[in-house]
Amino acid sequence: MNTRAPQSPRSPFGRALCAMVTPFTDDGALDLSAAQRLADRLVTEGCEGLVLSGTTGESPTTTDAEKTDLVRAVREAVDGRAAVLAGIGTSDTRHTLSLARQAQQAGTDGLLAVTPYYSRPPQDAVEAHFRALADAVDVPVMLYDIPGRTGTRIEPETMIRLAAHPRIVAVKDCAYDLLGTQKVMAATDLAYYTGCDEYVLALYALGGAGYVSTVANAVPRAFRAIVDAHDAGDTAEAAHRQRLTVPLTEAAMNAGLPGTVTVKALLAALGLPGGGPVRAPLRPAGHEVTDGLLRAYDALISASGTGGTSGPDSPPTPCGSR
């Protein structure tokens, strides 16, 4: 299928983005070969952009060198078929700028910059941090607003001021504040991508750019089908496709475990690239969680039908007993 939509002001990195997991070998090393196989599968199955080293990519436990190596390997694998964004956000502005420059040198198409975490800086410091980043690079920046993890919101008024910077072009929105999101969208040209899989259609229908999905690691075509149906003018089909993804999203994101843990468990159970170990302090999902993920996956595949760019992911042969 033709996976990458033309870039536009509304969707500068495409519409269908995946927050890609970072594969590791059984002994805990970065597995660049598996990362390339996963990236190739995701793009072939409908992703127009891949976001590396974010929350789902276990960025707190990968080294600076590993992050840079991952950008180079994934760029090689996708070979221009999709945008590649590098997560470079840390709690230290100097460190963030260093990672950003390394990612730019490695050839990233854009940067994902999370709010500085743990220290909980006030809004003027948050704004200064992002301005320093945008001033230091020549590639576009996607701000990552996820206060549930960072402890600090990028407030709508701060977002509106930051939108004036020419290199701050997009937002990955995990704030769970649809009112505040609409306020910023009405006042700026920022491209809003939802980072919450249950909000893909809701934000897109309001004029959002698309999504950065965790669950799409396992079912990229199922999420691509939502925006494709909306763009074709079939809002009822888009709503149907969104609802089909809900049980798997709930199983993956509401299991009391981080999404990277549950998605890697599902990928491993299905024998797909990217499944496998997580790095401590994370621990692998147990059999009960994995079995629930497989049931939800099977139900989604069964209910989705077959064929076409709006069709489901073809179910691979499971690895081992369910």
- Residues annotated catalytic, as ranges: 144, 172
Strand partners, 14: 12
Q: How far apart are CA 61 and CA 44, in angstroms?
A: 28
List CB contacts of 103: < 8 A, sequence separation 6 or more. 67, 68, 71, 86, 88, 111, 139
Q: Which two tokens stand for residue 46?
A: 């409908």
Q: Where are the alpha helices (DSSP H) in 26-122?
A: 32-44, 64-78, 93-106
Nearest Cα residue to 253 out of 49, 19, 96: 19
Q: How far apart are CA 26 and CA 16, in angstroms?
A: 30
Tell me how far the alpha carbon of residue 165 is from its chain's centroid. Answer: 23
Q: How far apart are CA 88 and CA 98, in angstroms?
A: 9
Sign of CA dihedral 121, 125, 131, 136: negative
Task: Compute the radius of gyration of the chain from its Cα atoms.
Answer: 18
Q: Which two tokens stand for residue 47?
A: 């992703």
Nearest Cα residue to 18 out of 73, 82, 80: 82
SS3 call for 84: strand
Burial of 135 (0-12, 13-18, 19+ CB in 10 A): exposed
Q: How far apart are CA 142 and CA 92, in angstroms?
A: 18
Q: Provide the residue count of the chain.
A: 322
Tokens 């072939």 — which residue? 44
